[in-house]
Amino acid sequence: MIINKHTKFLIVGLGLLGGSYARALTEKGYYVEAITDKQSSVDFALEHNIVNRAVSFVDFEMLQNADVIIFALYPHVFVEWIKTYGKHIKKGTLITDVTGVKKCIVYDIQNSLPEGVEFVSAHPMAGREVYGVENSNEKIFFGANYVVVPTEKNTEENIDACKRIGEILGFGRIAELSPEEHDDMIGFVSQLTHCIAVSLMTCYENERLEKYTGDSFRDLTRIANINEVMWSELFLLNKESLLNQMELFRHEFDKLEAYLKNDDREGMMEMMRLSTERRKRFDR
């Protein structure tokens, strides 16, 4: 598939990400339809001209009409959806998604789709601590990472088309990783950080602390405001990688604690020098 100005998009799931995809594509002049579960999301999207058409049921006509279908659903809902309705998707359709874990869904979905329907998975790394189409905003993509996660089943042409969608949406950087690489990476940079933020936020009950927190504490706990239904699902679906990453972190944390217990200042300073050196590479 080659994405051009006549390409028709269908978004399944109008939440924060689905809604932001819809806004970005509509803004660029594409024809966009949407299927979502809540009537209130349909109403909001139509009132705000985020989509050309939207419905709150699985409209087979829309499935036939779309050239590209973007799934912005919770992982298990996405898998169930494909198993139930996948057979109604027309041959030649390109499917992509926004799912935050890959190994456990990509192969399964590719094996469930009818002949001639290709699924190229993608992860727009642009979450926020707010949810729903009401908070959607195409600006969340600017400067962010868009990771395409192909398998051996994918064609070069459709991998390119999926990357092109990332460009159209305005992402700052388009990358490519295997499902296994993706899940290890996301276990570290996203899931482990959320585990840390939640643990830091829950470990000490002292209402007075709010008055004394500086930027450090606020920065480390910003993501402690978390959608528990979504993140508990993501954690469980990437359990093995995340447990490995948690173990790596604990090992360093324990090392620092041992240095402190033993008054080993040189050991602490060595860790801090390594930390400073590595962190400097991350500055934009």
**Using the rule CB under 8 A, is 152 a contact of a second copy?**
no
How far apart CA 102 and CA 186 sit, in angstroms, is 10
**What is the distance of C-alpha 183 from the center of its chain?**
11
Q: Which is nearer to a second copy, 107 or 188 (CB)?
A: 188
Instruction: Give min distance, CB of 75 to a second copy, in A.
Output: 13
CB nearer a second copy, residue 61 or residue 270? 270
Query: Residue 212 carries which side chain, given as an amino acid letter?
Result: Y
Is residue 122 at the binding interface for a second copy, with CB under 8 A as the rule? no
Give the burial string for 71-93 (b: 16+ CB within 10 Å, else e).
bbbbbeebbebbeeebeebeeeb
Nearer to a second copy, 46 or 195 (CB): 195
189-248: contacts with a second copy (CB under 8 A): 189-190, 192-214, 216-229, 231-233, 235-236, 239, 242-243, 245-246, 248
Helix (H, G, I), strand (E, B) or coil at 82: helix
Work out how close the CB of 24 gets to a second copy at its nearest, in angstroms, rounded to a whole number. 18
At residue 146, the 3 state secondary structure works out as: strand
C-beta of 171: minimal distance to a second copy in Å? 12
| CB of 64 or CB of 199, closer to a second copy | 199
Closer Cβ to a second copy, 55 or 201, answer by number: 201
d(CA 21, CA 39): 19
The strand pairing partners of 171, in sequence order, are: 142
Work out the angle at residue 14's Cα, subtended by the Cα atoms of residues 45 and 238, and round it to the nearest 5 degrees.
Answer: 165
User: Should residue 253 be labelled a site residue for a second copy when binding is judged by CB under 8 A?
Assistant: yes
Judged by CB under 8 A, which of 125, 161, 162, 169 binds a second copy? 125
| Angle made by CA atoms 95, 11, 138, in degrees to the nearest 5 | 110
Q: Which stretch binds a second copy (CB under 8 A): 4-12, 66-74, 108-116, 251-259?
A: 251-259
Q: Is 282 in the site for a second copy (CB under 8 A)?
A: yes
Tell me which of 94, 147, 150, 180 binds a second copy, using CB under 8 A.
Answer: 147
Q: Which of 5, 6, 91, 251: binder of a second copy (CB under 8 A)? A: 251
Per CB under 8 A, contacts with a second copy among 46-75 are: none
Choice between 2 and 271, CB closer to a second copy: 271
Interface with a second copy, residue 250, by CB under 8 A? yes
Cβ(227)–Cβ(135) under 8 Å?
A: no
Beta strands (DSSP E) in 100-142 are 118-119, 121-125
Q: Is residue 257 a contact residue for a second copy (CB under 8 A)? A: yes
Provide the minimum distance between the beta carbon of 199 and a second copy in the complex, in angstroms, as a whole number: 4
In the structure encoding, which two tokens stand for residue 26, read together?
Answer: 């509509």
Q: Are 49 and 76 in contact (CB under 8 A)?
A: no
How many helices (DSSP H) and strands (DSSP E) are in the chain?
A: 12, 9
Residue entry with tokens 């349909």:
42
The region of 93-101, 104-112, 163-171, 181-189 touching a second copy under the rule CB under 8 A is: 181-189
